Amino acid sequence: MNTKIYCDESISSIRGHLEKRDYKYITYPKFIFLCGKGFDKNIRDSYWYSNRGIIHRYINKLLPDSHIVLSEQMWEDGFDNSIDLLTFEEFLAEVSDAIILFVESPGSFCELGAFAYADALFSDKLIVVMDEKYRGSRSFISTGPVLKAKGNGSKVLFAQIENGALLASQELRSEIITLVETIKMKQSRINKRLVNESENIIYVNSFIVELLELLKIVQPISVPDLLQLYKMIKGFKSFTFVKRTGEKFKREIKSGYILKLLQNSGIIQEKDSHIRLSNYKKTQNLMLKYHGNAMERERNRLICRKYRYGGLV
């Protein structure tokens, strides 16, 4: 489908279903961001034997519908000119329901410092896992960023993370089980958008749900056309993403980062430069309000116009 051949009638029909309430409670894709020691991508199964791989499999057994996020799989060289890795990880942390950080390498020390000193923004999401031998330690890591993160409300746990016996820690297993049970029942009150006098401002978490919702109606569609159609329906010329607090990111967050997250998580898939949902039935309605099978009828009308006229003319 191509936005250049959308007629005013098609756009007006979809816009007529825009949700008028400022917020609603919905379920939404659950992302868990795992941070820790790097792994060798050239060695088969090296990730699955790492602490992150072990906890990944454990979480998937408890909550198969969860999506595990790894910055290594998300970061692209093409991002370098527009965003730094720390800000990119801040974006990943913002869209995630939980952040589990294994303090086990110089890179993870830096991540810990970044999250611990992010003005308590991620304190309710962060779970810091230290090696058991550092329990009671007075090291800089323990009395610096770890203590600050704990003071801001983050969980600090201990496990045997250096000898492969990670899940021997009942403390860690219990925390993960509690986390999973909380996420299972979680429904989010997501504001649709914030608008100030000079620009359209949208919560990044809200945008994810809205984009999937629109994709459900118009798939398959190219990314540029999907984004243009989104702006046409919203009545935006442009928009800026913000955090759940309404605060802007230090660097601009682009739609491409979000689409990369959705594709990497298997929520969307690309074929012949067009994207579609992997399982459209799980998509929730936030931006649009349809009753019964009205959304399916809307989609059927669009598809019929496409094949009858060679596009939505």
Distance of CA 285 to the CA centre of its chain: 17
Q: Is residue 116 part of a domain?
A: yes
From 153, 184, 215, the end of a domain falls on 184
> How do the pLDDT tens digits run along the chain, 313 residues long?
554 445 677 788 888 888 888 777 777 889 999 999 988 888 888 999 999 999 999 999 999 989 999 888 777 655 656 677 777 888 888 899 999 999 999 989 988 888 887 766 678 899 999 999 989 899 998 989 999 989 989 999 999 998 778 999 999 999 999 999 998 877 766 666 666 556 788 889 889 989 999 999 989 999 999 999 999 988 888 899 988 888 888 888 888 889 989 998 889 999 988 999 987 666 678 888 888 888 888 888 887 776 665 544 3
- Contact partners, residue 199, CB within 8 Å, separation at least 6: 238, 239, 240
Q: Is residue 82 part of a domain?
A: yes
Q: Is residue 87 part of a domain?
A: yes
Q: Is residue 22 part of a domain?
A: no
From 163, 184, 205, the end of a domain falls on 184
**Residues 271 and 140 placed together within one structural domain of the fold:** no
Strand partners, 34: 100
Q: Is residue 24 part of a domain?
A: no
CA pair distance 287, 206, nearest whole angstrom? 9
**Residues 162 and 220 placed together within one structural domain of the fold:** no
Q: What is the DSSP string of 148-189?
A: HHHHTT-EEEEEBTTTTBGGG-HHHHHHHHHHHHHHHT--EE
End-to-end CA distance of the chain: 11
CATH number, domain containing residue 76 = 3.40.50
Q: Is residue 280 part of a domain?
A: yes
Question: Where in the sequence is the domain holding 231, given as residue range(s)?
Answer: 3-17+192-309
**Residues 90 and 214 placed together within one structural domain of the fold:** no
**Residues 243 and 164 placed together within one structural domain of the fold:** no
Structurally, the chain folds into a number of domains equal to 2
